[in-house]
Structure 1
Amino acid sequence: MVFQGFTGSGKSYLGCALAKQACRNRIRTHYVRMPDLEEEWVQAQDKPLGAAKFLKKYGAFTLLVVDEWLLDRPSGDFLRILLELVERRYGSTSTVFCTQYQQKDWHQRLGSGVHADAIMDRIIHNTIWIETGSYNMREKTGAVQA
């Protein structure tokens, strides 16, 4: 599933709501921001079997919510591990992506190469896309409270 929309439009809220409901139903779930996922990958590389453990950890969750998807362009090593992770999860587990970027912008943000092609191929098919809109709820809430 992909939640795509403007900053403050409720993407993270919806992703967290799905994760909470999954937890209530005893479904193995994890929420992670993409910058934190990349930082964890950087730290895992320096450890024995770090890549294997990283992939095993994130591949095992029945539901994985990745917030701030493509906020920063993934580096070469992280791009390759993203492909491996998406491949492991494809067809067997559920992944929610929360992003500000439209699908047409993903390929470029993923580096426009064969890894981008492969990642996109595994995500865009059989995915539910939900546009959360262009209305910033934080802005509205802040204006009401002021």
Structure 2
Amino acid sequence: MDEISDLEQHFLFELIERRYDSGSTIFCTQFRKEDWHNKLGGGVHADAIMDRIIHNAVFIETGIINMREIASGKKTLDLTGL
């Protein structure tokens, strides 16, 4: 939710780089894939992180329902059409 610092960006890159092609890494996020680059700080470091995350990735979409909005009463859960 906060901007990523240079130290956090470097740590994340090193972590992903060391696991790249050697093990699985699971990312769970509420952000859309299109927003990841900016959330990772943008620039060449975000490019490098994104390259390693996206390559050989399997995406599992869980839907568009935002349970925080439903729990707060801002939206209601519409199950018609399911």
TM-score (normalised: structure 2): 0.75
CA RMSD of aligned residues (A): 1.9
What is the match of residue 78 of structure 1? 8
Indicate the structure whose relative CO is greater, using CA pairs within 8 Å and at least 6 residues apart. 1
Q: Indicate whether 1:112 and 2:42 are aligned.
A: yes
Query: What letter is aligned with 1:118?
Result: A
1:108 offset after TM fit, Å? 0.8
Aligned amino acid, residue 96 of structure 1: I
- Is the partner of 2:4 in helix, strand or coil? coil
Mapped to 2, the partners of 1:124 and 1:97 lie a distance apart of: 11
Counterpart residue identity of residue 28, structure 2: C
Aligned residue pairs, count: 71
3-state SS, counterpart of residue 26 of structure 2: strand
**Runs of 4+, deviation exceeding 6 Å:** none
- Distance in 1 (CA, whole Å) between partners of 2:23 and 2:2 is 25
Deviation at 1:135, TM superposition (A): 2.0
Give the secondary-structure state (helix, strand or coil) at the position aligned to 1:133: coil
- The answer for unaligned runs of 5 or more in structure 1 is 1-70
Structure 2, unmatched stretches of 5+, are 77-82
Give 1:80 shift: 0.7
Secondary structure of residue in 1 paired with 2:61: strand
Deviation at 1:137? 5.3
- Distance in 2 of aligned mates of 1:113 and 1:136: 29
Aligned twin of 1:101 = 31
What SS does the corresponding residue of 2:7 show, helix, strand or coil? helix
Q: Are 2:56 and 1:126 aligned?
A: yes
Q: 1:55 matched to which residue of 2?
A: none
Q: Normalising by the residue count of structure 1, what TM-score does the alignment of the two structures yield?
A: 0.44
Report the CA distance between 1:113 and its aligned residue: 1.1
Match of 2:48, SS? helix
